[in-house]
Amino acid sequence: MDELERLEQAVARLELALEKLIFQAKAQPVKSGPTKSSNGIPVCSLHGKAMFTSKFKEGQYYCGFKLDDGTYCKQKA
Ligand SMILES: [Zn+2]
C-alpha cells in the first residue's frame, strides 16, 4: 500500500467519524434549562418563545405561556 492510499483511507475514516459526530450533535435532545437568545432574553425551552421580565424580581424572567394541560409554564430564568 503506498502512502497516498493510506492517507486517503485515513481521510475517509475521519470524514466518517465527523459525520457521526454531527449526527449525534443533531440528535441530542433539547436542553431542559432555559437558553438565552441573542438579545439576552431567555427563551423557554418548552415553548421556544422569549420569556417576560418578572414584575416582582428584577432580572428574573418567566414564561407566560400555558402548557398542554392548561396550567402556566413554570420555566424561570
Ligand atoms: Zn414555557
Condensed to tens digits (0 to 9), the pLDDT of residues 8-63 reads 999 999 999 889 888 888 777 655 676 777 678 899 999 999 999 998 888 899 99
Residues 42 and 77 placed together within one structural domain of the fold: yes
Shared domain for 40 and 77, answered yes or no, is yes
- 14 and 24 co-located in one domain: yes
Domain count, the chain: 2
Ligand 1 centroid to residue 7 C-alpha, Å: 50
CA distances from 12 to 22, 37, 45, 63 (A): 15, 37, 37, 46
From the number of C-beta atoms within 10 Å of its C-beta (0-12, 13-18, 19+), residue 41 rates as: middle
Q: Under a CB-based contact definition with an 8 Å cutoff, are residues 34 and 45 in contact?
A: yes
| Residue 75 CA, ligand 1 centroid: distance in Å | 6
Same domain for 36 and 7: no
Task: Judge contact between 47 and 66, C-beta under 8 A.
Answer: no
Instruction: Please state whether the predicted TM-score (pTM) of the whole model is above 0.85.
Output: no
Owning domain of residue 6: 1-30
C-alpha 44 – ligand 1 centre gap (Å): 5
Residues 74 and 38 in one domain: yes
Q: Is it the case that residue 73 has pLDDT exceeding 90?
A: yes
Quick one: 19 and 38 in the same domain? Answer: no
Do 17 and 47 have their domain in common? no
